Amino acid sequence: MTKVKLFEKVIIKGQTGRQKKYVAKMDTGADRTAVDYSVAAAIRLGPIVGETKVNGERRPLVKATIKIKDKIYDKVICLANRAGKKNKILIGCDILKHFEVIPRLR
């Protein structure tokens, strides 16, 4: 199983083909991967394919392609307001189930 650190470089791409590199936080407590609205706007993620509830808050769902450590995942991810947070992308267990997260790996 491939090892990842708590923070990893990822490439996220929308259905329009636009892509961008970010440092994402690996969040073993999150069921689903989430990205900030600013990321969605920058690479034109969409259209919205559904919605989910997280802590009582409704969040839109969109399709995206995420590359981590040369592995590519096509997933439905949720959009979240991460304004003011250092990491605009949280990688959840929907992707992390394919990795071993090592918080202190150098």
Give pLDDT tens digits for 24-75: 999 999 999 999 999 999 999 989 999 999 889 999 999 999 999 999 999 9
The model's pTM is: 0.94
Q: What are the C-alpha distances in Å from 7 to residues 26, 36, 51, 57?
A: 6, 16, 27, 26
Cα–Cα distance for residue pair 93/42, rounded to 1 Å? 24
Q: Say whether pLDDT at 106 is over 80.
A: no
